[in-house]
Amino acid sequence: MESLAVSGIVYLHPNLFMCIPRHLSSSVYQEFSMASTDLSLILNNAIANLYPSESQPNMLSTTVPMGRSPHLSEITFNSNSTMGSWDQVNPQMWTRQNVLEWIGFHVEESRFDASLLNMNYCDMDGVTLCTMSKETLMNMFGLVLGEQLHHSLESQKARYATDLSETGLSESELDLLDNILQNSFPYIHGPSLGPLLETVVVQASIPTDNTENTYSYFDEYTSQLTPESDHGYDSLTESFQSSNTGSFLNPSSPESNSSDSDPEYSEMPYSTSTKNFVKQESVETKKRGRGRPPKPRDSEGYEHFIQSKKSKHAPRGTHLWEFIRDILIHPEQNQGLMKWEDRRDGVFKFLKSEAVAQLWGQKKKNSSMTYEKLSRAMRYYYKREILERVDGRRLVYKFGKNSTGWRIEETGY
DNA sequence: AGGACCTTTCCTGATT
DNA sequence: CAATCAGGAAAGGTCC
């Protein structure tokens, strides 16, 4: 695990970060490096910067001049290792601040060396956190702290039994959803609402473990790391959108124990989702012609309902090649998905093609993405010279002259 | 409203 | 045989 300082990237906010190559800014580096032994300082600093509008009970007091980032030395904080408001809330509902407080609490409690902590890993909401397996947490936070966090998280989850009231949906929304589901799946019988909705919720939560985790987390910040944001990356909007819609689309059941036994990425984590269920039904019953199928009609229920609940405009600029590039240039979040074959020439290889496709699908809110489809989009890049062909080598691609932001000179590493 | 752009989806056939 | 590659065709979503 890389430390905050080693990465050369100082996160002040998911949408506000400083990229500080070590060789260019040794003073800044040293400052953070030395100061980082007290995570509370960093966390509180981050909280103060990230969530000025949110209350921060029991955590800190800051005296920071307006209009600029506070200097570490300007912050005084309450060093009492008290529980924050997270303790009274279902982890599913934790805000980023709650997660940050929770991590801070355990860091202090375990006397974890905060200099080893990557602040990147501290910025996630409860929904994202709850999808993380023990292994993922241990990868992110180290064996000791990771295990402690996992244990704490599971305890917190257990305190809040599965309850439809915790889906975040109002009663009327639940009724509406139930109606739609009943209409869409008349062959599914059972008492209204309960079993049917539970089926959907549980299935939607199936994508657990690394794929889900990596993505949600990765998604939250990599778009801000793009060396060149000249391709319309609207990271600001996107970052918040993904977390907001995600809470509904990927409602991890508090009961769903993320698998500790499968270190590999689940190849088809969404295979039992309602959407796929609908799609497979239609595919099996009749063959369609070439090309993209028509939009689903209202009668197709659940998925359409989900769509209508989503924001009307997904942010533009989520280009596939940029997504791929960002995985490659942030190996600390890569988790073995892809690797450089020839860093200088821009040759890279998919190691877990389906996992990458799933991540891409998640980014685009499309749970049925596959490597097959992703690779078709990749092949379109040949013509535009964003990618170059690499003949005879499976899963290997090469960046072309019209791609940017991946070269060592551009990334600094 | 319409067109450009960037996929997404499906398909057939070839190759590894 | 399964996975991947190649590329045509058609359509969707977003932006301008």
Beta carbon of A315 within 7 Å of strand C?
yes
Angstrom distance (rounded) from CA A278 to CA A259: 26
Task: Write down the residue that tokens 């500080």 correspond to.
Answer: A20
Between A60 and A223, whose confidence is greater? Answer: A223
| Residue A145, token pair as written in the block | 């702290």
pLDDT at A274 over 70: no
CATH number of A320-410: 1.10.10.10
The residue among A116 and A391 whose pLDDT is bigger is A391
Percentage of the residues of chain A whose pLDDT score is greater than 90: 19
Most confident range (mean pLDDT) of A163-177, A181-195, A279-293 is A279-293
Nucleotide nearest to A375 (CA to C1'): C5
Burial of A327 (0-12, 13-18, 19+ CB in 10 A): buried
A91: tokens are 């982890």
Q: Are the beta carbons of A387 and A400 closer than 8 angstroms?
A: yes
- By C-alpha to C1' distance, B6 is nearest to A319
pLDDT at A332: 80
The CA distance from A311 to A188, in Å, is 30
Nearest nucleotide to A283 (CA to C1') is B10
* CB-to-strand B contacts below 7 angstroms: A 279, 283, 287-293, 318-321, 360-361, 364, 366, 368-369, 372-374, 376-377, 380, 384, 392, 394
- Tens of pLDDT along A175-199? 344 344 433 333 333 333 222 222 2
Section A270-284 average pLDDT: 34
Rounded to whole angstroms, the Cα distance separating A61 from A43 reads: 12
Mean pLDDT of A50-69: 31
The reported pTM is: 0.42
Higher per-residue pLDDT: A117 or A278? A117
Residue A297: CB less than 7 A from any atom in strand C: no
Å from the A315 CA to the C8 C1': 29
pLDDT band at A381 (very low <50, low <70, confident <90, very high): very high
Spatial separation of the C-alpha atoms in residues A70 and A48, rounded to whole Å: 9
What is the distance in angstroms measured between the alpha-carbon CA of A370 and the sugar C1' of C11? 18
Alpha carbon distance A123, A43 (integer Å)? 10
The nucleotide minimizing the C1' distance to residue A374's CA is: B8
The dihedrals phi and psi of A209, each to the nearest 5 degrees, come to 60, -150
**CA proximity to A130, closest of A170, A175, A71, A89:** A89
Q: Which has more pLDDT, A286 or A356?
A: A356
Give Cα A9 distance to the centre of its chain.
18
Who among residues 131-160 of A has its Cβ near strand C, under 7 Å?
none
pLDDT, averaged across chain A: 56
CATH superfamily of A84-158: Transcription Factor, Ets-1 (1.10.150.50)
Question: At residue A256, does pLDDT exceed 80?
Answer: no
Best-predicted range by mean pLDDT (A184-198, A237-251, A293-307): A293-307
Q: What is the pLDDT of residue A148?
A: 79
Query: Would the Cβ of A391 be found within 7 angstroms of any atom in strand C?
Result: yes
From the number of C-beta atoms within 10 Å of its C-beta (0-12, 13-18, 19+), residue A372 rates as exposed
Confidence check: pLDDT of A244 > 60: no
Rounded, the Å distance between the CA of A380 and C1' of B7 is 9
- Strand B nucleotides, any atom under 7 Å from protein beta carbons: they are 6-11, 16
Neighbours of A242 (CB within 10 A): 24
pLDDT tens string A307-345: 333 333 334 457 999 999 999 998 887 778 999 999 999
Q: With bands split at pLDDT 50, 70 and 90, how would you rate the model's confidence at A289?
A: low
Least confident of A100-114, A232-246, A371-385: A232-246
- Confidence grade of residue A113 (pLDDT, cut at 50, 70, 90): low
Model confidence at A355: pLDDT above 70: yes
Note the pLDDT of residue A95: 78
Q: Is the CB of A347 under 7 A from strand C?
A: no
In this structure, which amino acid lies at residue A163? D
Q: Which residue is nearest to nucleotide C11 (CA to C1')?
A: A292
> In this predicted model, what pLDDT tens digit does every residue of A7-16 receive, in sequence order?
323 233 333 2
Q: How far does the CA of A226 sit from the C1' of B15, in Å?
A: 36
Q: How far apart are CA A244 and CA A344, in angstroms?
A: 38
Q: List the domain boundaries for chain A.
A: 84-158, 320-410
Return positions of chain C under 7 A from a protein CB.
3-16
Q: Is the CB of A312 under 7 A from strand C?
A: yes
* Cα A317 → chain centroid: 17
